A and B are shown apart, each in its own frame.
Chain A
């Protein structure tokens, strides 16, 4: 452990790595919305224009 890390740990009891990890998070894995939630969004948006709804799934040809 580096000296500055030791100092921080002595002062706070928290590992600097924990803090830095919280301040530099990786992007969360995406979980795409289902159709029920798309409908909720459409209701919520009312007459406004939104680009949030994914395209309607269509059967593949061939």
Chain B
């Protein structure tokens, strides 16, 4: 299906933002990557929308390095949370992504409002391992050390399924899905050693790492494997 011009520009803006997050996670840049507020017009709109699409990971470097959030960066993040609430009929991943942002905002700034009630995970209750892995990969920003929410509890109950999904994604050359699943596997208990997660993540980076959205998940997984906490 052909994408609209807006959609294409939005994807480019998300990739730019993800590149900044990757750089910060690698330690090659400061921990603040969200563009400053004050950019008007389409560029500002795109930047704000890109923050909403990248979601909670936009603040991941500061969260993992325990760097106090920059007020201007936090203001943009907050604006993205407030400007794009999920619609009543939004897909579960859209609702969970928004919840994750609200939760991250609260973590970064305890004076922020409490996050809304968690959405449910009913859509994954009887889902196949392939679908569960795909959805968890989309919700990779929820894969954080110590995170306790319904999605992370569901993932913790299906480590073998996620491992199978990781292998399947690699074999299908779906690097984004593989990277997201690999990030989850880094945190899940009971992952079979035979999956070869470390080498698998290296391979995902080798093959798909030119995509900043892949590199972001691989770098996040590496940081968390070294014991980074939020």
Contacts and interface: CB of A to CB of B under 8 A. Distances in A.
Contact of B46 (A14, A37, A41, A45): A14
A19 B93 CA distance: 12
Contacts of B173: 30-33
A2 B87 CA distance: 10
B203 to A, nearest CB: 5
A49 B194 contact: yes
A52 B174 contact: no
B177 A27 contact: yes
A18 B196 CA distance: 36
The range of chain B's interface size is: 35 or more
Contact of B10 (A18, A37, A52): A18
A28 B176 contact: yes
A23 B200 contact: no
Contact of B6 (A4, A14, A25, A50): A14
A4 B134 CA distance: 29
Interface string B198-224: 111011001100000000000000000
A35 interface: no
A13 interface: yes
B203 A41 contact: yes
B196 A11 contact: no
Q: Chain B at the A interface: mostly helix, strand, loop or mixed?
A: helix
A58 B42 CA distance: 56
Nearest to B83: A11
Nearest to A47: B199
B64 interface: no
A6 to B, nearest CB: 12
A57 to B, nearest CB: 14
Contacts of A54: 171
A46 interface: yes
B176 to A, nearest CB: 7
Given A49-B193, A51-B194, A52-B170, 17 more contacts: A2-B87, A13-B42, A18-B7, A21-B7, A22-B7, A22-B11, A23-B52, A23-B93, A27-B130, A27-B174, A28-B177, A32-B173, A40-B203, A45-B203, A49-B196, A52-B171, A52-B200
27 contacts: A4-B87, A8-B84, A13-B45, A13-B46, A14-B46, A14-B49, A16-B84, A18-B6, A18-B7, A19-B10, A19-B84, A22-B14, A22-B53, A23-B93, A27-B134, A27-B174, A30-B173, A31-B172, A32-B172, A33-B170, A37-B207, A40-B203, A44-B202, A45-B196, A45-B199, A50-B199, A52-B167
Q: Which 6 A-B pairs have the closest CB atoms?
A: A30-B172, A50-B196, A13-B45, A24-B91, A45-B199, A14-B49
